[in-house]
Amino acid sequence: QSVLTQPPSLSGAPGQTLTISCTGSSSNIGAHDDVHWYQQLPGTAPKLLIHETNNRPSGVPDRFSGSKSGTSASLAITGLQAEDEADYYCQSYDSSQSAYVFGTGTKVTV
């Protein structure tokens, strides 16, 4: 049972901007410096998309950016492309559960 809440689905036209929210609490997102994001393309394993709130691993387009404020975080996809159709998950660590936690996941449709 995830303690990080994301919208179940979002859709947008090519070229548009989408923002995925990730809402947590003072025991997870609010208790740590950063949030991380993963992209899961259909039928594949998750892939690290953003680490430490707004750092992109090599090979990740700069269309993806992240931010964090208090107990929430956001992932923005600018210039949406068809290849961005995937599930997106945020991730933190919950001190009250002593467990790594993932968001509920957001399915992006282009």
Partner 1 sequence: QVQLVESGGGVVQPGRSLRLSCAVSGFTFSSFPMHWVRQAPGRGLEWVASISYDGSDKYYGEWLKGRFTISRDNSKNTLFLQMSSLTIEDTAVYYCARVGYGDPNWFDPWGQGTLVAVSS
Residues that bind partner 1 (CB under 8 A): 2, 32-34, 36, 38, 44-48, 51-52, 57, 89, 91-93, 97-105
The token pair that represents 5 in the structure block = 């809440």
Based on CB atoms, which residue is closest to partner 1, 67 or 104? Answer: 104
For residue 44, the minimal CB distance to partner 1 (Å) is 8
- Strands 106-109, 9-11: pairing kind: parallel
For residue 13, the minimal CB distance to partner 1 (Å) is 26
For residue 76, the minimal CB distance to partner 1 (Å) is 19
Based on CB atoms, which residue is closest to partner 1, 13 or 43? Answer: 43
For residue 26, the minimal CB distance to partner 1 (Å) is 14
Q: What are phi and psi of 38, to 5 degrees?
A: -125, 150
Rounded to whole angstroms, the Cα distance separating 60 from 39 reads 10
Q: Is 75 exposed, middle or buried (0-12, 13-18, 19+ CB in 10 A)?
A: buried
Based on CB atoms, which residue is closest to partner 1, 16 or 109? Answer: 109
With a CB cutoff of 8 Å and minimum separation 6, the contacts of 25 are 3, 71
Based on CB atoms, which residue is closest to partner 1, 11 or 100? Answer: 100
